[in-house]
Amino acid sequence: MEIVYINTPLGIAKISGDNDGVSAISIEDEGFISNVIPSVLLDAVQQLTDYFEGKRENFDLVINPSGTDFQKKVWQELEKIPFGKTVSYLELSKKLGDVKAIRAVASANGKNPLWIVIPCHRVIGSDGSLTGYAGGLHRKKWLLEHEKPSSQQSLF
């Protein structure tokens, strides 16, 4: 397993993976930046950098997260949420075919091992509120603002 630490506007991102794909991306408040980027993680580093620079809306990485079958099913559904859009936990539960599974869906969402790449930050409360986020609500708010379509400004 290879690991690299990169600087982002939201803290230090820790990226882990190997030849089978990226297995984890997490955010930390402090730490060190890697001097060398392992070749198996070059794409992940570049794509995250592009995302933060506003040059990327979708990720095209081989991913290999660890989780239960149910968690993986939830994460696959999260990957379908378009850039700049949000869904509620209830909507997500409906898409997965079981409205009563809302707590299990929320739990799986919270265990997402691939920060930003699997966009769990795009899931909000039914009332539009920013509900729990493993990286902290300040980061969730920043990410949603970052993805918000820019409004056309008047020239006059």
Candidates 10, 13, 63, 120; catalytic one: 120
Active site (annotated) includes residue 120: yes
**Helices and strands, counts by H and E, the chain:** 5, 5
Q: Is 27 exposed, middle or buried (0-12, 13-18, 19+ CB in 10 A)?
A: middle
Q: Which burial class, exposed, middle or buried, applies to 106 when counting CB atoms under 10 A from its CB (0-12, 13-18, 19+)?
A: buried
User: Alpha-carbon distance 139 to 119, whole Å?
Assistant: 12
Whose structure tokens read 């930046």?
A: 33
Residues marked active site are found at 120
